[in-house]
Amino acid sequence: MRTLSLSTLLLSLALGLAQAHAADAAAPTSPAPAVAGDAKPAEAKPLASWSTGDGTIAGAAATSGAPIASGVALAAGAAKPATVQLLTAPGSVVVLGAGAGFSLTTEAVADGKEALIINLESGAIQVHIASKGDYESVHVRGAAIDVRVTGTLFVVERVKRDSDYIALVQGKVKVSLRKEVADSLHKQGEVELITRQGVGGSTSGGLGAVESISSRPQLSSASHSTVREQALGESDDGHWNQDAAAAELGLSLSMADGEDALGTENGGLTHFDTGISDGLVDSLTDHIGTQVFDSLEGPTGLSSQVLDNLSGVGAGELPGPPPPPPR
């Protein structure tokens, strides 16, 4: 029997280990099992987009169409108003007065739904809610007040760090104190505003008295008074159908008198601006009415024809006397 030397055995063992290592290196490796939490969360859907005007998004210059995520600070430039489109509340627009700032967030409410929150940080904004989308409700929160809206148009201003004022142009809103303010003041309750009413609130005094407003507050660069001063100021017609900020930005956001924020009136009939003067409309209406009356009531009109057919005589003819009774 042949005896192997120790050195030969060690050499054989080393060669075997080297070959095994090479085979392992060449074999394909299976991916490591996924660990819960490794997957990147889906990117949050933007809540709004910048529309027109100068301003900033998170401190950077805003550009038209730029997406706006939850919690991001927005601000209009110091000279002119700007507009933001609410993507998750279709058709809804926020107009920022010069220097105004706000952010958008959502919060969970009952039945798994969410509420959209417009957090007003400074200045005045005009809010036009045309649709709630999938939200249970839409709120505007200032320093002291919480405005719950559905379909309406209003202007709200954070006057100071501790007070706000809302002027309702069209629709209805419910105004209450923010929960933390109400708890601090031990004051609860809310008020409902109807068209052309306003109310203020502060962190020290709570909600004020509801006021009738006589004019629509404007957020154009030429407007230098507070929202309340404009709302209570004297005006010939109130300028209810004018939107100076929208006109300055080349937009058309105004509503006709009698409409709600959905652009409807008379039970939901859409309003169209025909561009025809009221005088011309009245004249056309009178003319058409006269023609219809003549066609019905004239000598050869429909009414006469019906009577003729029933009586068997021509228009204007009187029937002869009945024949004498038989003898």
- In sequence order, what DSSP letters do the residues of 150-206 get, joined into one string? SSEEEEEEEEETTEEEEEEEES-EEEEE-HHHHHHHT---EEEE-TTEEEEEETTTE
Residues facing residue 200 across a β-bridge: 165
Residue 97 is assigned to a structural domain of this protein: yes
Same domain, 253 and 284: no
Residue 182 Ramachandran class (φ > 0 left, ψ -120 to 50 alpha, else beta): alpha
Does some domain include residue 167?
yes
Same-domain status, 291 and 183 = no
Tokens of 120: 């007003």
Could you tell me the two tokens for 74?
């927005």
Q: Which two tokens stand for residue 110?
A: 């009952």
Residue 316 forms part of a structural domain: no
Q: Are residues 281 and 167 in the same domain?
A: no
For residue 100, the number of C-alpha atoms closer than 13 Å in the C-beta half-sphere is 32
Q: How many domains are there within the chain?
A: 2
Q: Is the pTM of this model over 0.75?
A: no
In terms of domains, do 137 and 277 share one?
Answer: no
The total number of residues shown for the chain amounts to 327
Query: Same domain, yes or no, for 258 and 279?
Result: no
Per-residue pLDDT tens digits of the chain, which is 327 residues long:
445 455 554 455 555 555 655 555 555 555 555 555 555 555 678 999 999 999 999 999 999 999 999 999 999 999 999 999 999 999 999 999 999 999 999 999 988 899 999 999 999 999 999 999 999 999 999 999 999 986 789 999 999 889 999 999 999 999 999 999 999 999 988 999 999 999 999 999 999 999 999 999 999 888 889 999 999 987 767 788 889 998 898 886 544 444 444 343 332 323 333 333 444 434 444 554 455 445 545 555 554 554 455 455 444 444 555 566 565
The answer to the question of residue 318 being in a domain is no
Range of the domain at 286: 273-303
Q: Is residue 6 part of a domain?
A: no
The answer as to whether 3 is a domain residue is no
d(CA 53, CA 32): 51
211, 295: one domain: no
The dihedral over CA atoms of 300, 305, 308, 310, expressed in degrees to the nearest 10, equals: -170
Q: Are 62 and 170 contained in the same domain?
A: yes
